[in-house]
Structure 1
Amino acid sequence: MTLAELDALPVEILNGVGPRRRTALAAVGVETVCDLLTYYPRRYVDRTRQEPVEGVTLNTELVLVGEIAAIGKRRTGLGGRRTLVEATLTDGTGS
């Protein structure tokens, strides 16, 4: 099938694409099967690269693999309506 043929097929012919998903896809400019195949998200996080705990810096998105050494929770906010969960992860290089 050529890209021209795919460009003639509306995205809703695909299984799992109903009215709601079609509307969501149209909001980002995806209306045909060709549009879907050539769509690249604005932001992409590479979750295949794993980092050691010792290399973690603030305000970065990354994937850590390790063992949870401790976990706890506490109430925060006005009147304690929110719960904060805190965990310590270790992988042999740090925690």
Structure 2
Amino acid sequence: MLGNLQWGDKIIVHAYGTVYTYEVRETRTVSPDNVSILKHEEDSWITLITCKTYDKATNTYSRRTAVRAILVSTTTDKQTKEARGGR
């Protein structure tokens, strides 16, 4: 669950033949209109956002869980390379 991630936890993304490893630096609960979690950073960051606190009466979510993580390493994705026959 996204809200259970804590400082130092790893988020691993496989994309375009590369494995990107991020480390969590912040987990927050925010209002739906709070865009401060999308602030610009000089380094490479990823921000994951999901809905939280469903209100059946209004059919909306009153809160969001946001997790921000910094890129700590990249490596060649061996699974992608093997799937392409080692090319």
Please report the TM-score for the alignment, with normalisation by the length of structure 2: 0.22
Per the normalisation by structure 1, the TM-score is: 0.21
Greater strand proportion: 2
